[in-house]
């Protein structure tokens, strides 16, 4: 074994680089080790099954479809009429820049500038230029980032091309949102399986449709380029649409390790990422361009696309190009500089596109310079009232509703059969395929005249070794118990009671005799257990808001969510209890509050030994619940509740009074709900 220092603390890795559980560390260190482990796992599995060209070509269509799904483009949207309009043009130095807009779907306006030579006799090769995050405003009015990057379009039009430069939804003339999870706390985007990367990819697809409608465009010779955010969108469109014959993404890709372990995710908004349902590292995206010409271009001092990660993506992508015997069509261009649109980056991109689209290897003799006043490139004199750009995140990805809830056991069982496995694949694909050895250990034991408390540790997922507090009558082996799932608030309350009997094992929580009396009153006659998943109690990571946001976004990069892995921890806790009590037929009732209600509801979908669930403050809508990848595409909480009821489980939904009406309305007149679901107000001490 060899020792490696990283993140400022010590952990051990094997000779092939897989991290192993560390010594005692705090919550932030645990999270860092976890991210390193998971990233290494994903990286090591990339192309692991690809040893021949047929291995790749047999799977390529599947990978292509997976990427579409992760972009929110499955089912593929309808190609509705573009409704393209030219609102004016401006001319300078032999170049015409048209002000154009089209609708990639009704109301989803895309603004752009179409650059072409004043004199053109035949169709020319064409470039789709997608813009990075270059904000341009005058008097508070957005002119679109297309005006920031106008020098690229102008250069192409002066050098034998036509070029369409399009705005993004974040910084276009109509200003949408790229920062849902980054800044706006729209964690429900994960529930919906939504990413603005999908909208940008779709707008690029429709931009190609528009370009092919123009007589000036040679439809067989279309390339794409862009930098930063535009570099990322270049990847999406080149990977999913083979009308792109040549691609030059600039400063738009790096390795998963850079994003998760090295923290580059903190410098990027959501448009840079697919919803990573299938747990990809980024060479998978790059490989989908093969064997078409691809130049990966970057600077050597780019903090958000670091050099080592860029080189890693290139090196691993090269494996696929080698299988095609097409390594001459894969290039790596690194030049000196920071994350900036430098002239050196432009020159090499121009030369690569000239070579593959125009068979022209002559020297570049003209610089890319702006030709127009930015105001003259603005498309809309007034923004359209029917635009959906600012709200596209609400509708872009289809979601299920609650209009057709199952009303009887038969239909609920059918829903359960068709939905549970999909939930496992699409929402919890980040769970381990094979669980680690549970390794339950008795840490401490204490008792009084009637009641015992046992403190148990178990492995959930390296490096998370969690604790269960098992409380019940002395000298009994239960055949059933109630498992209390603890969120942050419930953890403090439960531990304050348990601190009366096992003070050395409750992490300095102050004892509360009243809480102990509540616990002991129940435990005289029945066995109860308490468990907190990762991120709660002793494994809690930073409480600083920005740090917590970026930890959540790291989980997203791994094809997970915090709530999704906390749900896994609850499932593992039930296995640990069965193992510790040597009771494989142990039956469970689950009780949970707030966030924990969601963890309990979903973990029990994958358990056969649950009799009942008592859930307080369970949200009736995914939008307001802990985020699970893609769940809103499959089921809302009322469907899950009725699926549970169809299994013969009793459910008590104890919600705050302002939610009771929603639950009542949703389940009103539902025969199955009337039989199995009890709706109650929260008890006063939990309000």
pLDDT for 6 equals 30
The order of strands in the sheet holding 246-250 is 85-92, 95-103, 109-117, 162-166, 124-130, 217-227, 246-250, 294-299, 330-335
pLDDT for 4 equals 29
**Nearest alpha-carbon partner for 439 in 470, 409, 462:** 462
The strand pairing partners of 46, in sequence order, are none
Separation of CA 587 from chain center: 35
Q: Which CATH number fits domain 409-686: 3.40.50.300, 3.30.420.40, 3.40.50.1820, 3.20.20.80?
A: 3.40.50.1820
Distance CA 374, CA 91 (A): 13
Q: Reduced to 3 DSSP states, what percent helix, strand and coil does the chain have, rounded to the nearest 5?
A: 40, 20, 40
Q: Would the pLDDT of 8 be above 50?
A: no
The first and second tokens of residue 671, run together, are 């025969």
Model pTM greater than 0.85? yes
Omega of the bond prior to 75 within 30 degrees of 0, cis?
A: yes
Domain borders along the chain are 85-360+373-394, 409-686
pLDDT for 167 equals 98
Task: Give the torsion sign (CA, 590, 596, 599, 601).
Answer: positive
**Nearest alpha-carbon partner for 284 in 326, 312, 259, 244:** 312
Q: Give the number of other Cβ atoms within 10 Å of residue 389's Cβ.
A: 26
**Residue 331 and residue 294 in contact, taking contact as beta carbons nearer than 8 Å:** yes
Q: Would the pLDDT of 315 be above 90?
A: yes
pLDDT for 2 equals 29
Is-same-fold flag (85-360+373-394; 409-686)?
A: yes
Q: Would the pLDDT of 126 be above 70?
A: yes
H helices of 228-306, where?
229-240, 256-260, 283-287
343-349's contacts with Cβ under 8 Å and 24+ in sequence apart are 343/367, 343/368, 345/227, 345/250, 345/251, 345/297, 345/298, 345/299, 346/152, 346/155, 348/295, 348/297, 349/225, 349/248, 349/250, 349/295, 349/297
Q: How confident is the model at residue 659 (pLDDT cuts 50, 70, 90)?
A: confident
pLDDT for 23 equals 44
Distance CA 501, CA 450 (A): 12
- % of the chain exceeding 90 in pLDDT: 89
Distance CA 14, CA 32 (A): 17
The first and second tokens of residue 183, run together, are 């800044």
pLDDT for 683 equals 55
Q: Would the pLDDT of 12 be above 70?
A: no
pLDDT for 456 equals 97
Give the pLDDT confidence of 195-221 residue by residue, as tens digits.
999 999 999 999 999 999 999 999 999
pLDDT for 25 equals 60
Give the pLDDT confidence of 480-539 residue by residue, as tens digits.
999 999 999 999 999 999 999 999 898 888 999 999 999 999 999 999 999 999 999 999
Q: Give the number of other Cβ atoms within 10 Å of residue 151's Cβ.
A: 17
- % of the chain exceeding 70 in pLDDT: 95
Q: Of 68-82, 547-561, 600-614, 667-681, which range is least confident?
A: 667-681
Q: How far is CA 681 from CA 412, 554, 659, 660, in A?
A: 25, 36, 9, 7
Distance CA 393, CA 57 (A): 34
- DSSP annotation of 77: P
Give the pLDDT confidence of 673-684 residue by residue, as tens digits.
988 999 887 654
Give the pLDDT confidence of 256-313 residue by residue, as tens digits.
999 999 999 999 999 999 999 999 999 999 999 999 999 999 999 999 999 999 999 9
**Residue 196 and residue 270 in contact, taking contact as beta carbons nearer than 8 Å:** yes
Q: If you average pLDDT over every residue of the chain, what do you get?
A: 93
The first and second tokens of residue 466, run together, are 């969690």
Q: How far is CA 353 from CA 160, 245, 331, 339, 367, in A?
A: 11, 10, 12, 22, 16
pLDDT for 13 equals 32
Q: Would the pLDDT of 3 be above 80?
A: no
Looking up tokens 């009337």 gives 674
**Nearest alpha-carbon partner for 145 in 344, 379, 339, 303:** 379
Give the pLDDT confidence of 336-352 residue by residue, as tens digits.
999 999 999 999 999 99
Give the pLDDT confidence of 571-606 residue by residue, as tens digits.
999 999 999 999 999 999 999 999 999 999 999 999
Distance CA 476, CA 602 (A): 30
Distance CA 129, CA 146 (A): 9
Distance CA 174, CA 536 (A): 41
The strand pairing partners of 115, in sequence order, are 97, 163
Give the pLDDT confidence of 367-402 residue by residue, as tens digits.
999 999 999 999 999 999 999 999 999 999 999 999
CATH number of the domain located at residue range(s) 85-360+373-394 in this protein: 3.40.50.1820
Q: Would the pLDDT of 364 be above 50?
A: yes
Q: Would the pLDDT of 464 be above 70?
A: yes
Distance CA 482, CA 611 (A): 10
Looking up tokens 């796992």 gives 41
Q: How far apart are the first and last CA of the chain?
A: 52
Separation of CA 132 from chain center: 21
pLDDT for 130 equals 98
Distance CA 125, CA 40 (A): 42
Q: What is the mean pLDDT of residues 397-410?
A: 92
**Residue 595 and residue 490 in contact, taking contact as beta carbons nearer than 8 Å:** no
Give the pLDDT confidence of 619-658 residue by residue, as tens digits.
999 999 999 999 999 999 999 999 999 999 999 999 877 7
In degrees, to the nearest 5, what angle opens at C-alpha 468 toward C-alphas 499 and 547?
85
**Nearest alpha-carbon partner for 87 in 374, 372, 375, 380:** 380
Q: How far is CA 533 from CA 46, 458, 487, 602, in A?
A: 29, 11, 8, 14
Contacts of 604 (CB under 8 A, 6+ apart): 590, 610, 613, 644, 649
Q: Give the number of other Cβ atoms within 10 Å of residue 568's Cβ.
A: 25
**Residue 432 and residue 461 in contact, taking contact as beta carbons nearer than 8 Å:** yes
Q: Give the number of other Cβ atoms within 10 Å of residue 286's Cβ.
A: 25
pLDDT for 577 equals 98
Distance CA 407, CA 669 (A): 8
Omega of the bond prior to 291 within 30 degrees of 0, cis?
A: yes
Q: Would the pLDDT of 407 be above 70?
A: yes
Q: Give the number of other Cβ atoms within 10 Å of residue 351's Cβ.
A: 18
């Amino acid at each position: 074994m060899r020792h490696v220092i990283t993140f400022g603390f010590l952990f051990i890795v094997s000779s092939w680089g897989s991290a192993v559980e560390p010594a005692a560390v705090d919550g932030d260190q645990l999270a860092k080790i976890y991210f390193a482990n998971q990233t290494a796992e994903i990286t090591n599995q990339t192309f692991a099954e690809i040893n021949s060209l047929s291995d790749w070509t047999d799977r390529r269509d599947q990978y292509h479809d997976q990427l579409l799904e992760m972009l929110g483009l499955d089912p593929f949207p309808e190609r509705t009429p573009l409704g393209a309009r030219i609102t004016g043009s401006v001319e300078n130095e032999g170049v015409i820049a048209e002000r154009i807009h089209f609708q990639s779907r009704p109301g989803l306006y895309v603004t752009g500038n179409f650059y072409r030579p004043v004199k053109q006799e035949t169709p020319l090769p064409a470039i789709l230029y997608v813009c990075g995050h270059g904000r341009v405003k005058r008097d508070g009015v957005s002119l679109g980032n297309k005006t920031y990057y106008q020098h690229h379009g102008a250069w192409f039009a002066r050098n034998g091309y036509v070029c369409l430069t399009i705005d993004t939804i974040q910084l276009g003339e109509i200003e949408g949102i790229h920062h849902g999870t980054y800044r706006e706390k729209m964690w429900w985007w994960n529930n919906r399986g939504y990413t603005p990367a999908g909208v940008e990819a779709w707008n690029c697809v429709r931009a190609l449709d528009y370009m092919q409608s123009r007589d000036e465009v040679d439809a067989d010779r279309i390339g794409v380029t862009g930098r930063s955010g535009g570099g990322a969108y270049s990847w999406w469109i080149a990977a999913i649409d083979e009308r792109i014959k040549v691609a030059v993404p600039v400063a738009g890709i790096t390795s998963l390790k850079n994003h998760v372990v090295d923290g580059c995710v903190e410098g990027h908004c959501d448009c840079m990422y697919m919803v990573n349902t299938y747990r990809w590292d980024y060479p998978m995206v790059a490989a989908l361009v093969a064997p078409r010409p691809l130049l990966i271009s970057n600077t050597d001092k780019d903090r958000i696309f670091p050099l080592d990660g860029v080189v890693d993506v290139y090196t691993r992508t090269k494996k696929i190009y080698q299988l095609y015997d097409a390594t001459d069509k894969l290039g790596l261009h690194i030049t000196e500089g920071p994350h900036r649109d430098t002239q050196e980056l432009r020159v090499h991109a121009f030369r690569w596109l000239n070579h593959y689209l125009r068979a022209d290897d002559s020297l570049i003799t003209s610089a890319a310079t702006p030709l127009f006043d930015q105001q003259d490139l603005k498309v809309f004199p007034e923004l359209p009232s029917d635009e959906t750009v600012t709200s596209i995140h609400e509708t872009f990805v289809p979601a299920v509703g609650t209009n057709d809830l199952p009303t009887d056991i038969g239909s609920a069982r059918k829903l359960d059969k068709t939905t549970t496995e999909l939930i496992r694949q699409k929402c919890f694909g980040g769970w381990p395929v094979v669980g680690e050895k549970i390794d339950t250990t008795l840490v401490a034991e204490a008792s009084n005249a009637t009641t015992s408390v046992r403190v148990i540790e178990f492995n959930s997922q390296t490096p998370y070794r969690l604790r269960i507090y098992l409380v019940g009558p002395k000298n009994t082996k239960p055949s059933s118990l109630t498992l209390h799932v603890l969120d942050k608030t419930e953890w403090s309350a439960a531990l304050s009671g348990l601190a009366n009997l096992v003070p050395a094992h409750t992490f300095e929580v102050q004892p509360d005799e009243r809480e102990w009396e509540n616990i002991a009153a129940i435990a005289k006659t029945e066995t109860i257990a308490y468990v907190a998943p990762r991120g709660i109690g002793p494994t809690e990571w930073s409480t600083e808001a920005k740090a917590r946001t970026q930890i959540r976004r790291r989980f997203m990069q791994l094809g997970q969510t915090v709530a999704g892995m906390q749900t896994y921890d609850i499932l593992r806790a039930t296995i640990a209890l069965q193992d510790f009590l040597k009771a494989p037929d142990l039956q469970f009732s689950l009780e949970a509050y707030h966030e924990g209600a969601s963890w309990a509801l979903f973990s029990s979908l994958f358990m056969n030994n649950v009799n009942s669930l008592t859930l307080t403050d369970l949200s009736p809508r995914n939008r307001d619940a802990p985020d699970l990848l893609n769940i809103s595409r499959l089921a809302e909480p009322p469907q899950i509740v009725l699926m549970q009821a169809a299994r013969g489980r009793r459910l008590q939904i104890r919600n705050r009074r302002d939610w009771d009406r929603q639950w009542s309305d949703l389940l009103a007149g539902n025969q199955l709900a009337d039989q199995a679901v009890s709706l109650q107000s929260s008890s006063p001490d939990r309000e």
